[in-house]
Each structure stands twice: as C-alpha cells, then as structure tokens.
Amino acid sequence: SKNKGKKLPTEEEIHFTELIQNAIEYAEKAWAEDTLKKSESYKHGVDTKNQRSSDGQLSLFADEDPKGERLEELAYISLEATKKLERSSNVSISTIRSSKTWLKIWKTLIHAYCDKTKITCDPNALYRSANGSCNNLHHPTWGMAFTPQLRFLPPTYDDWIDLPRTKCHSGRTLPSARKISNTMFCEHDKLRIAKNHTIMVMAWGQFIDHDVIFTPLFKGANGSAISCCDKDSDQTRPECFPIEIPGDDPHFKNKTCMNFVRSTASPSHSCLPAPREQLNQVTSYIDASTVYGSSEKETKSLRTMKKGKLLTSKGGLPPAGKEKSCVLQHPKEYCFRAGDKRVNVVPNLSATHILFINEHNRIAKKLARLNRHWTDEITFQETRKIIIALMQHITYREYLPKTLNADHMSHYGLNYYPGNYNNVYDPSKNTGTRNSFAAAAFRYGHSQIPPTQSVLAEDHITYKHYPLEETYHKPFLTQEDKGKNVAGLLRWLSTEPTTCNDRVFEPQVRDLLFLDKKGNSFDLPAINIQRGRDHGMPCYNEWREWCNLPVAKSFEVREGGLVDHDPVCAGLLKKAYGHVNDIDLYAGAISEQHIPNGEVGPTFACIIARQFHAYKYGDRFWYEQVDKPTAFTRAQLKQIKKITLSKISCDNFKIRKIQKDSFTTISPSNPLTDCKTLPKLKLRPWKETIAQTKKKHGSNY
C-alpha cells in the first residue's frame, strides 16, 4: 500500500482514525450536554450564587480565572474521549500510549484540545516571573501556575481514568468519609495541647500551603455554587461526589448528604491519553505568590506602581476586593483582595497576609530612599526578592524543624546553613506540588486548628476570644478598630500553645466549617478523605511501601501490623475500615504516632520532606545562592539570614515584646524580650551607585 514517496494510510490507521474521531465527537457532545445541565441547575435554583451560605463559601475555592475555565474544557474533552476510546477499541490507555500509530493519530486529532500556550524565556532575567514560568530554563512550565499537579504515585481511580475511588478491596463500597470522621476524629475530652509550639505553627502552615497549592473546584453556570445534595436534581452530575451522612450522626440531624464538588480535571501532561490530573492554579515555588499573585496581571493589580509599593487600604490593610468574595456583616466592612483569593477564610490567615504586605511596603520605602535613582519596577522587584527570601528562610529555618525532626531535616537536605551560601539548585528536579502532599499530607495542619480566633492585648494577659465558626470568611475581626486587632492576633498566634496534631479535630472544623445562618456546615477532615478519593489517591499501605515503611497486613500493633499506631488508633481504624488495604491515606497517616521530636507520623513526614526537598532544590532562584546575577550578594544574604518571623511582627505592628522564636512558646530558653534586641534587617548592602544600576539593568533602565 505504498505509493512513491507518499504514504497512504493503512487499514489499521483508517480504523484508528475513525475510533478516535468518534470518541472526540462523543466527548464534545457530552461537554455540550453537561454545560446545558449546569445552566438548567442554575435556572431552577439548585445552584445558587449566595456566598453567605455554607455551599457558597466552599465555592469560593472554585476556579474563577478564564484560563482555568478554558483548561477545564480541554481536560473534559480529552478525558471523555480517552474513556470512550478505551471502551470502543477495547484497548487500554497504556497500550494506546505505547503504540506509535495510535499516538500519532491521537496527537493530530486531539490537537485542537491541547493547551498550546507558548512560553519564551529570557535566560538573563534577573527576577522570577509572576506565574513561575522559566524558573527552569529547560522546562519552562515546571512549577508554573495553571499546570497539572504532579504525582509521587500513579492514581487509583475506580475506572483507572477518572472516577473517584469508591470501592474496597473486597469490592464493597468504602465507608462514608463522614462515618470515618465520626469514628476516628472526635474525642469529647478536653483540648489536646502541643506543649511547646505556638498557634503560629498552624498559621504559617496555612500561609505556606496557599503559596504552593490551590486546587480549583468545579463551579456552576454564572459562577454559582454547585449543589450536589438537591433531592430533585439529577444525581449523575459529573461535578458531584457528595458525602453520605450516616443516620445516627451526632451533629447533622435530619440530613443524609454533605455537599462535595469535585476538583476540576487538568489537561494531562503533554496532552496524551492519560488518567485524570488536578490543576494547581498558583505557582508551586515558595515565591510569596500569596502576596504578589500568580500572574503578571494579578501582580499589576496589587501594585501602586509608585516607588515599588503595594496597594493598601486604611491601617495598612489589604485593598478591597469583590463584595461577594467574603461574608460581610456591617456596611463598613469590605472583603480583602490579595495575591491569593483565600485571604478571607480566617482571621489568622488574613493577619499573615497583612504582615507581609506591610513588610513589603516598609522595605520598599527604605530601598527607594537608599536608591533614589531606582525606578518603581526595580524597587518593587528588589523588595519582592527580599520578601520571598524571608518566606523561604522562615519556612526552612523556623517552621519545618517544628514539623519534621532533625533526622528528616538532614536526610532530605532541608537544613538551613548558618554559613553564608548554599548553591543547591538542581535543574533535573521538578518543584511542582504533588497531589498526595496537597490532598493529604500537608493538610495535617487541619488537626492543629484551635477552636477560637483570639486577640491578645499588649499586657500579654487580656484575651478576647471569638469562636472560630463565627469568623469563617468574615473580615470583621481584622477590620474592627481600624486594623488594630491585627497586632493582637499576631500576639495570640505567637503566644498561645497550639492544638496538637493527632486524630482529633475540634468540633469547629469537624462539625461547623463554614457554618451559615441556616445551620448548614461541613466536616473538614471528612472533606479531606473525600478529596483524596476524588483525586484517585492510592491508599495508606501503598504510601507506606513507597516511603520504605513496613506495610500493615493486619490491624494489630505488632510486627506485620500497624506498627506506627497506638492500640487505640489501630482499634479505631479497624472499626472504621474493614480491611487494612482500604485505609485512606489521610485517616491512616494522621492517626500515626509522631516521629521523635516531630509533629507528624512517619508517612506524612516522608511525603512532606520529599515535597520540601523539591521546593528547595528545584528552585533556580533559591534564596541561599550567591555569585549569580539572580542571587543576593553575600552581604545581603547575611542580612536576610538574621531575620526571624518575630522581628517582622515587631517591625510592622505595635508589638514591643516578643520571644525570639515565635513558633515556640515563651519559656526561660525563649523568653519574652524587647523587640529592639532582635537582629535587624539592615538595607545598606542594597545601596547601589547609578553606574552599578546601569550595569545591572542596562543603561536606560
């Protein structure tokens, strides 16, 4: 069947072409039908646009960016087509992926539904891009916003492509996530306190988590919140995966269904036929994207464009955002806008945002005075570079050692070098946030959430407590008194001991997450389990194996069983799950006994350490490097390394006394001291002559 030079398609090729074409057409139809269904649900009032409701509050985690919407469609079509193709051809996707003929035709026909964003890098750029592109010059999309999350282990969907994991090894249906939560995550005795860590450990964890990961959820037509529990509506909506509430539920009476909207699918890596992946809509780098946003456009919208400063409202609070992005209770209140959309979720999070916006403006002001010839852009970028370095420094020097222990820190190369520099960049390492880290391991912090948000007065004695459930998405606490409470919040965060990380979750997050006026709310740890199933997360034992830890063959706590659990937790796991191979990663790992001197068990420690290794070694702009145009000078780095989170709190708020390490409770070895005694960031090393600036930025900078 060969003509001179020109190749006619073989019979096989014609057959494959037809199958793939049919599959894509089928997928296009399904997308159109689904879009119609969504608008019907909106028209009939099933999906609504009330951000004050608990569903509405969860939908603030949906994707909003047009870029995300476009990717959602691409992913939908290519996934549906993949599934259809598998069915109609009777060939598995792995076979399709390993056949040149199949792939060639797939690539040609699916082309219209691939993300064709072209990226050109400037290898000499002095600063990071806003969206994380071109950090890795060989792989410009590594760590970039709006790319698929990576995986340490392949997914285990029910159909191996995209249906959530719902089946046990026995073939029966897995127990409901809420039922597991009721069995394992509640304890009626008193609050459990971690003796020497402050709530700042929790608050910093959340702030950093938002820097590296934001998984978008589906949303309904016209930006409405999808409601998966409407009795009259179609139960087969592909965006839905509601959580069954057991009949004897201690909190949710007369309710059988907890809303749960699936994470959107992401186009696969390289647009090949592949199982479903989830998106990350923020940069994976620890690059203060919470402060500056994850796109050029966002960054611009947060700047004053004068003297390098960021926009603020009165009292140094963040600028106002969309009215519907939080829950307002008084005409004077407004929703905050920051680099990350989740800024309004809880006051402790808003407080860390506010702290770093203020630190940015404080430093920018000084740099602009020191270098009167600098443009707005240079002052902005140099300040941003310092802020990012401070975030990385605090995370690796102060935060991580409280979660992991010294062994893990050194084994995974996470230690901070007291010496000057550390050229660690390895271009073969991909920073990208891993699915298991985002959907499970780094949610360990949810167990540290305390039952209140509080303000501690300057006397370090007087507290004002607000029940946590009254503060979700409500900015009143940070805006009251012209922002004066922020100092009190920071004082509380760095003084009060934290709730310990274990299998117990406070009722404020387990029963009352996003409580609304109608009394509707969510269970956060149950959502975490369900999210793992939504993402096809492999089970606990599979992660044990991946981490080189003993795999459990029984629920006993001796060799061959759950060796890292105490008998009580092992018993609860047995009660919750029929078989050890069914244990969800989140439930199995959160209930492990901690590694010595750490705050997590060995399984989460392994995933968290591997991910933080990637954040450090995969970052070409890692703050500890020197002798490169993109790096700090040695004198500058020396200044950065002196700084602690405590000092930043002191420098921006009316805080006069604080202990040196604000992640550790006040004690004789970490006493309350005068802020003035803490080492100070001296900006002298940033002073440049005009000639030096010209040399760096070009003569008409």
Task: Give the shortest CB-60-to-ligand HEM separation in angstroms.
Answer: 9
Using CB under 6 A as the criterion, what x/- string covers residues 390-429 for binding ligand HEM? ----------------------------------------
- Half-sphere exposure (Cβ direction) of 372: Cα atoms closer than 13 Å: 0
Task: Give the shortest CB-598-to-ligand HEM separation in angstroms.
Answer: 14
Among 443, 535, 616, 660, binds ligand HEM (CB under 6 A): 443
Task: Give the shortest CB-538-to-ligand HEM separation in angstroms.
Answer: 17
Contacts of 432 (CB under 8 A, 6+ apart): 142, 143, 147, 149, 150, 280, 284, 614, 618
Binding region: 446
Interaction partner, residue 516 (Ca ion, ligand HEM, none; CB < 5-8 Å by kind) = none
Task: Give the shortest CB-39-to-ligand HEM separation in angstroms.
Answer: 24
Helix (H) or strand (E) holding 669: none
By beta-carbon proximity to ligand HEM, the closer residue of 205 and 588 is: 205
Task: Give the shortest CB-448-to-Ca ion separation in angstroms.
Answer: 22
By beta-carbon proximity to Ca ion, the closer residue of 283 and 652 is: 283
Among 61, 127, 421, 701, binds ligand HEM (CB under 6 A): 61
Please state the φ and ψ torsions of residue 403, each to the nearest 5 degrees: -95, -50
Among 128, 531, 533, 544, binds ligand HEM (CB under 6 A): 531
Please give the residues from 184 up to 213 whose contact with ligand HEM meets the rule CB under 6 A.
202, 205-206, 209, 213
Q: Amino acid letter at 189? A: D
Q: Directed axis angle between helix 347-370 and helix 376-393, to 10°?
A: 130
383 contacts ligand HEM (rule: CB under 6 A): no
Q: Amino acid letter at 538? A: P
Where are the extended beta strands (E) located within 393-481?
452-456, 463-467
- Interatomic CA distance for residues 420 and 674, integer angstroms: 27
Question: Whose CB is nearest to ligand HEM?
Answer: 445
- Interatomic CA distance for residues 384 and 691, integer angstroms: 23
Among 130, 240, 515, 527, binds ligand HEM (CB under 6 A): 527
Q: Transcribe 337-348 into DSSP letters.
A: --SSGGGGS-HH
Interaction partner, residue 570 (Ca ion, ligand HEM, none; CB < 5-8 Å by kind) = none
Binding region for heme b: 446
State yes or no: is 210 an active-site residue.
yes
Interaction partner, residue 641 (ligand HEM, Ca ion, none; CB < 5-8 Å by kind) = none
By beta-carbon proximity to ligand HEM, the closer residue of 199 and 576 is: 199
Interaction partner, residue 302 (Ca ion, ligand HEM, none; CB < 5-8 Å by kind) = none
Instruction: Find the catalytic residue in 44, 111, 210, 579.
Output: 210
Nearest to residue 325, comparing CAs of 338, 313, 312?
338
Task: Give the shortest CB-610-to-ligand HEM separation in angstroms.
Answer: 15
Interaction partner, residue 287 (Ca ion, ligand HEM, none; CB < 5-8 Å by kind) = Ca ion
Q: How many residues does the chain have?
A: 701
Among 445, 483, 488, 538, binds ligand HEM (CB under 6 A): 445
- Please report where in the chains the tokens 């127990």 appear, as a residue: 175
518-552: b or e for each residue (b if 16 or more CB lie within 10 Å)? Answer: eebbbbbbbbbbbbbbbbbbbbbbbbbebbebbeb
343 contacts ligand HEM (rule: CB under 6 A): no
Where are the extended beta strands (E) located within 40-151?
147-148
Nearest to residue 280, comparing CAs of 620, 28, 54, 615?
615
Runs of H (alpha helix) within 335-405: 347-370, 376-393, 400-403
By beta-carbon proximity to ligand HEM, the closer residue of 217 and 456 is: 217
Adjacent-strand bridge partners of 28: none
Token pair recorded at residue 101: 């003929």
By beta-carbon proximity to ligand HEM, the closer residue of 280 and 379 is: 280
Q: Amino acid letter at 536? A: G
Interaction partner, residue 214 (ligand HEM, Ca ion, none; CB < 5-8 Å by kind) = ligand HEM
Q: Amino acid letter at 271? A: C
By beta-carbon proximity to ligand HEM, the closer residue of 337 and 531 is: 531
Among 75, 177, 327, 346, binds ligand HEM (CB under 6 A): 346
Adjacent-strand bridge partners of 148: 279
Token pair recorded at residue 108: 């040609």
Please state the φ and ψ torsions of residue 23, each to the nearest 5 degrees: -65, -40
Interaction partner, residue 78 (ligand HEM, Ca ion, none; CB < 5-8 Å by kind) = none
What is the set of active-site residues?
Answer: 210
Chain residues binding ligand HEM by CB under 6 A are 61, 202, 205-206, 209, 213-215, 345-346, 438, 442-443, 445-446, 448-449, 524, 527, 531
